Amino acid sequence: MTAPALTKNQSLVFDVLSRSDAPLSAYTILDKLRDHGFRAPLQVYRALDKLLERGMVHRLESLNAFVACAHQEKECCGGHGHGTVAFAICESCGHVVEFHDHAVDHRLDDWARERKFKPAKTTIEIRGLCEQCAA
Amino acid sequence: MTAPALTKNQSLVFDVLSRSDAPLSAYTILDKLRDHGFRAPLQVYRALDKLLERGMVHRLESLNAFVACAHQEKECCGGHGHGTVAFAICESCGHVVEFHDHAVDHRLDDWARERKFKPAKTTIEIRGLCEQCAA
DNA sequence: TCAATTGCGTTATGCTATAACGTGTGTCAT
DNA sequence: ATGACACACGTTATAGCATAACGCAATTGA
Ligand SMILES: [Zn+2]
Ligand SMILES: [Zn+2]
Ligand SMILES: [Zn+2]
Ligand SMILES: [Zn+2]
């Protein structure tokens, strides 16, 4: 039941994402890891796949970029085992806020149930300007 | 105030999207329009940009693909002048349903207002299985 | 020990999107 | 008219994102 340890490559990728204060593209991650022996995009993508599976990393579809999950292990909704997560992305400074909203989740869930649509993964991304940048 | 007519290229691209029952990538559109003189991606992307501006076409971020807007001109929320729109995307048959949900919109709006975040564009995409394909 | 699984590294390729250049065509103020 | 401007268009080249296909090594579990 308890997940196996991260491999070396997975740890390296996760570390880079954790330290970043903005989303990173796979190729940016690659560049940051060249000194650690990374040579090809696949090394990054394979690590990202595993981290995404675990919910430790999220993909921002509107940016083709990735962020470390901002949840603590045991937060509401089970931390990394969270349901749908939403993002507010500042187009000026690049800062991203990850959040849940149960009302939104349930509303979309109801919509799906009414139409007998079976959701697998839901993307919610608000792009705009954060408080700092909107001033 | 009334929008200028579509150019030839814009019409061709819009037609292709309108006739399709699934989202199309820019390159797929290009292929479908080679017989009409299209030779390069930019011809498609430039037309798409204008159609997106007008709200006649939507981009599905999680698919890197495009669909014709499913609204009628004068539907609720002003038809093509609509606010946030959401999509349910079947991963099996490719069918896409476009919808509004005011409750979701307002909830996300509230979230943003509370944090003084200024939304510019919001993406909501539910991927899963439609009723037909879930059976 | 033998198979199956998983991760890894490499090369090559494919898909998505834009930069930069020049052309032609209208509009509009001079 | 003529020049200035805006805008659509066409072309070539390039940038950015993602996966296919190969082979090797380590791990696991019958
Ligand atoms: Zn998360
Ligand atoms: Zn900002
Ligand atoms: Zn629409
Ligand atoms: Zn379906």
pLDDT per residue over B62-71, tens digit each?
999 999 999 8
Q: What is the pLDDT of residues B87-120, one digit of tens each?
A: 999 999 999 999 999 999 999 999 999 999 999 9
Nearest to B85, CA basis, from B47, B123, B50: B123
Give yes or no for residue B37 having a pLDDT over 80.
yes
In this predicted structure, the answer to whether residue A81 has a pLDDT above a threshold of 70 is no
Cα separation of B93 and A48, whole Å?
27
- Whether the predicted pLDDT of B18 surpasses 70: yes
Does the distance separating the beta carbons of A62 and B120 come in below 8 Å? no
A38-80 per-position pLDDT tens digit: 999 999 999 999 999 999 999 999 999 999 999 866 566 655 6
Q: How long is the CA B7 to C1' C24 vector, in angstroms?
A: 15
Query: HEC string of chain A?
Result: CCCCCCCHHHHHHHHHHHHCCCCECHHHHHHHCHHHCCCCHHHHHHHHHHHHHHCCEEEECCCCEEEECCCCCCCHHHHHHCCCCEEEEECCCCCEEEECCHHHHHHHHHHHHHCCCEEEEEEEEEEEECHHHHC
Q: Domain ranges in chain A?
A: 1-69, 73-135
As a whole number, mean pLDDT of residues B30-39 equals: 97
Q: Is the pLDDT of residue B33 over 90?
A: yes
Superfamily of domain A73-135 in CATH is Ferric-uptake regulator, C-terminal dimerisarion domain (3.30.1490.190)
Pick from B99, B116, B120: CB nearest A131: B116
**Centroid of ligand 1 to alpha carbon of A74 (angstroms):** 11
Residue B77 pLDDT grade (very low, low, confident, very high; cuts 50, 70, 90): low
Q: In 3D, which of A98, A126, A122 has the Cα closest to residue A112? A: A122
Residue A1: is its pLDDT beyond 90?
A: no
pLDDT band at B4 (very low <50, low <70, confident <90, very high): confident
Rounded distance in angstroms from the CA atom of residue B31 to the C1' atom of nucleotide C28? 39
Check residues B28 and B5 and name the one with the higher pLDDT: B28
Pairing of strands B86-90, B118-129: parallel
**Chain A neighbors of B88, CB-CB under 8 A:** 111-112, 115, 117, 119
- The reported pLDDT for the residue numbered B3 is 75
Q: CATH assignment of A1-69?
A: 1.10.10.10
Q: Say what the pLDDT of residue A94 is.
A: 95
Cα–Cα separations (whole angstroms), residue B56 to A111, A118, B73: 24, 27, 9
Both tokens of A53, joined, read 């599976």
> What is residue A83's predicted lDDT score, i.e. its pLDDT?
78
pLDDT at residue B125, as a whole number: 98
- Give B42 Cα–ligand 4 centroid separation in angstroms: 31
Q: What is the mean pLDDT of residues A82-96?
A: 92
pLDDT recorded at residue B96: 97
Q: Which pLDDT score is estimated for B135?
A: 79
**Average per-residue pLDDT in chain A?**
92
Joined tokens for residue A1: 């039941």
Indicate the burial class of B6 (C-beta count within 10 angstroms; 0-12, 13-18, 19 or more): middle
